């Protein structure tokens, strides 16, 4: 089995984002970026499937500017065998929607004869939660979203999914698309020797146009603004005052 795992470079999860003065996006220049946390989990799972001899090869894919290669190097240092970088200039990146990403992934999955596509359940910047589902639709493959456990069951993959009321188990035939939830695993840290080794692993560069994917956006961002600020609260001395204030506000 060959796995294609999608990774996105996003603003680090611990950074407090700032809205740009032109109200068209958030400030990304000079801000710490890292691999989308859900994608780290997807990479880890792909590598574990390889370690369990369920998969033969893991190829990491990222779509973005030159710096996306750093994200790919991280995936390679974690244990991916090779990588594909679909270059999109930084200035055009904001216009790239999950629809385009899914088209690119599905083209590569078909051309590269992959059996499994793995991605994170959502990117923590656009919070869309769409790419896995759309990729599966374009490929006509089954999808197992929000996975918290992946096991091999004969020719099938048995996947436990996180749903609103608890957990759900499904079986999907391969080829399939899986999206990783937080509790699927704990991603490993890349060790220094592996980081050094990753520098020698190949990254294939290509452009969306070479795959015949048109990146014309169908969504126009009109504005990006700060959320309303909550009025400052107060600190109370003790439980009695807390209850009194809640009664006053009609909350208890």
Residues 172-231 that bind other proteins (CB under 8 A): 172-173, 176, 181-183, 218-227, 230-231
Angle at 131 between CA 215 and CA 115, to 5 degrees: 105
CB of 14 to other proteins, least distance (A): 8
CB of 2 to other proteins, least distance (A): 19
Between strands 166-173 and 156-163, the pairing is: antiparallel
Q: How many CB atoms lie within 10 A of CB 57?
A: 16
1 binds other proteins (CB under 8 A): no
* Cα 242 to Cα 233: distance, rounded to the nearest angstrom: 12
Enumerate residues 135-174 that contact other proteins by CB under 8 A: 135-138, 141-146, 148, 156, 158, 161-173
Residue 197 tokens read as 């080794």
CB of 200 to other proteins, least distance (A): 35
Q: CB nearer to other proteins: give 41 or 55.
A: 41
Q: CB nearer to other proteins: give 137 or 196.
A: 137
Q: CB nearer to other proteins: give 83 or 144.
A: 144
Number of residues that bind other proteins (CB under 8 A): 80
Q: What is the dihedral of CA 179, 183, 189, 195, to 10 degrees?
A: -10
CB of 76 to other proteins, least distance (A): 26
Enumerate residues 13-52 that contact other proteins by CB under 8 A: 13-14, 16-17, 19, 26, 38
* Cα 211 to Cα 67: distance, rounded to the nearest angstrom: 21
CB of 91 to other proteins, least distance (A): 18
Q: What is the dihedral of CA 241, 247, 250, 252, to 10 degrees?
A: 100
* Cα 138 to Cα 239: distance, rounded to the nearest angstrom: 56
What are phi and psi for residue 120, nearest 5 degrees? -75, 160
Q: CB nearer to other proteins: give 22 or 192.
A: 22
What is the x/- site pattern for other proteins, positions 83-122, by CB under 8 A?
Answer: --------------xxx--x------------------xx
CB of 78 to other proteins, least distance (A): 20
Q: Which helix (H) or strand (E) holds 49?
A: helix 37-51
């Amino acid at each position: 089995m060959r796995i294609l795992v999608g990774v996105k470079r996003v603003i680090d999860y611990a950074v407090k984002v700032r809205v740009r003065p032109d109200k068209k996006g958030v400030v990304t220049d000079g801000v710490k970026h890292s691999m989308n946390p859900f994608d780290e989990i997807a990479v880890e799972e792909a590598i574990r499937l390889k370690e369990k001899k369920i998969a033969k090869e893991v190829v990491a894919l990222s779509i973005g500017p030159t710096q996306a290669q750093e994200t790919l190097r991280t995936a390679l240092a974690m244990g991916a065998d090779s990588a594909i970088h679909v270059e999109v200039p930084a200035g055009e990146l904001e216009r790239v929607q999950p629809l385009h990403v899914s088209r690119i992934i599905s083209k590569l999955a078909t051309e590269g004869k992959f059996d499994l596509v793995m991605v994170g359940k959502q990117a923590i910047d656009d919070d869309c939660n769409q790419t896995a589902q759309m990729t599966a639709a374009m490929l006509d493959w089954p999808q197992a979203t929000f996975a918290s456990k992946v096991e091999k069951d004969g020719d099938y993959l048995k996947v436990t999914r996180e749903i609103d009321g608890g957990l759900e188990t499904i079986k999907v035939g391969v080829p399939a698309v899986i999206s990783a939830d937080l509790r699927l695993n704990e991603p490993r840290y890349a060790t220094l020797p592996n980081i050094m080794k990753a520098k020698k692993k190949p990254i294939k560069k290509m452009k969306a146009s070479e795959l015949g994917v048109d990146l014309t956006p169908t969504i126009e961002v009109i504005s990006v603004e700060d959320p309303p600020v909550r009025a400052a609260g107060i600190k109370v001395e003790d439980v009695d005052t807390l209850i009194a204030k809640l009664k006053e506000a009609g909350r208890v």
